[in-house]
Amino acid sequence: MVKLASEAEAAFSSFYEEMKTKGATGLRSAAWDAFSSKGLPNRRVESWHYTDIKAAMSKPAPLAIGRAGVETARTHDSIRLVVLDGIFRPDLSNLSALPEGVKVQSVRDALAQGTPGVMALIASADVQTDDALLSLNAALMQDGVILRVGGGVTVEQPIELASITSSDEAQSSFTRSLVIMGKDARATVIETAGALSAASIQDNQALIVRLAQGASLNLFSHATGQSEALVRVMSLVAHLDERATLSAYSLIEGAGLLRRQIFARLDGERARVAFNGATLARGRSHADTTLIVDHAKPNGESRERFRNILDDTSVGVFQGKIIVRPGAQKTDGVMQSKTVLISDSATMNNKPELEIFADDVQCGHGATCGRLDKDQLFYLTARGIPRKEAESLLIEGFAIEAFDGLENEALRNFVSERVTKWMSGRTA
């Protein structure tokens, strides 16, 4: 058994003792054994080589306790489902706005009741990924939201899954939510991860997505943080059946260490995924995007396009892997990461990979890293635009490229506003 640092081992063990009887005892026990056998990943673990999560989580904060009387501001015109300090809060959610054919349940209730479908999905997610932080999440999960969209149902208004921390004191939280879409269902889901204070937060959250035949999900993820002591791991585990489509966009900003890891398995013919996003990092923040797209059946399509803007001494990471299984012929996969370094002290680590075990495929990847184009800067400044404003225009255009395919106009405007606000906060 791999030993954790003593302080981390003692803290996580105490968390497990508290959570192990709160539903899904067998599942939690298996997940805890899986985590204990591996321990917190160190940098010798290939997928964590650029992010020292073991050092960052060496002193876990106390387990979060749900709080009452906290107001959370809405940032989107959506049907909002709120998880506050690790606990689903129906009183802060507008459940009455849910349309017919859409059902919501708390993960805590589902675990207590032993809902078979939920247990199977949670267990399959950890088997699919074999990731230590996901196993820890399953062992210690406090609560979350289960969102079910019935077969043939189209949800017009976006549904927001907001996971928010509010404590002014250091805390750790472990949440897991599920989005389950029936055959030919259609929906837009907004995943928000935020903090209402600058306290030291350790946040491990997972979102499991299961798309039945012909289902289509638009997913927009937004993560922010105020504290340089923030440590957040966001895991997305997606499973797609035949002709299912997942179009996912992410905007990562804020301080601290954030890792967003994606595990997508295309387990039906003609399934399609697109993962796009922008990372805005400054100060001493560390932003890691790591993804694995696993093509298991023929005629699948995947597109990954990420933009990174790094300032000051921030560190960015992009690790992307496309796997094409034997028999997954006619797979079409493209992966691209582009980075602009605003500061000479910023660092970007790129590691794109292809693992192809079929012979009739079309796959490619690329990664670039550099400064702003001098010719473009000259063009703008020669026309009377001040240099700093010219830089902002170019950087904003570069970041927003990643959202070209985002159909929801309100979300496109939201991205533009956030990028503009981030640029306005730059030092000269």
Higher pLDDT, 68 or 332: 332
- In this predicted structure, what is the pLDDT of residue 416? 92
Residue-level pLDDT at 67: 66
How much of the chain exceeds pLDDT 70, in percent?
96
| Contact predicate 237/210, CB 8 Å | no
pTM, 2 dp: 0.94
In a domain, 397, yes or no: no
Residue 420 inside a domain? The answer is: no
Is the pLDDT score of 202 beyond 70?
Answer: yes
State the total domains in the chain: 1
The reply to whether 394 falls in a domain is no
Mean pLDDT of the chain: 92
Q: What are the DSSP calls for 215-239, one per residue?
A: -EEEEEEEE----TT-EEEEEEEEE
Report yes or no on 384 lying in a domain: no
Pick the range with the lowest mean pLDDT from 68-77, 108-117, 260-269, 408-417.
68-77
424 within a domain of the structure (yes/no): no
| Residue range(s) defining the domain that contains residue 226 | 6-371
pLDDT confidence bin for 1, thresholds 50/70/90:
very low
- How confident is the model over 340-352, as a mean pLDDT? 94
pLDDT digits (tens, 9 = 90+) for 47-105: 999 999 999 999 999 998 866 656 666 667 889 999 999 999 999 999 999 999 999 99
**316 and 348 Cβ atoms separated by less than 8 Å:** yes
**Residues 394-400, mean pLDDT to the nearest whole number:** 91
| Distance of alpha carbon 305 from alpha carbon 174, whole angstroms | 29
Task: Encode pLDDT of 273-314 as tens digits.
Answer: 999 999 999 999 999 999 999 999 999 999 999 999 999 999
Q: What pLDDT is stored for residue 301 in this prediction?
A: 98
User: Which helix or strand (DSSP H or E) is residue 180 part of?
Assistant: strand 171-181
What is the reported pLDDT for 124?
78
Task: Judge contact between 234 and 262, C-beta under 8 A.
Answer: no
pLDDT in tens, 107-130: 999 998 888 788 888 887 776 778
* DSSP code of residue 25: H
121-162 pLDDT, tens per residue?
888 777 677 899 999 999 999 999 999 999 999 999 999 999
**Within-domain flag for 49:** yes
Of 245, 256, 250, nearest in space to 282 by CA: 256
363 inside domain: yes
- In-domain check, residue 414: no
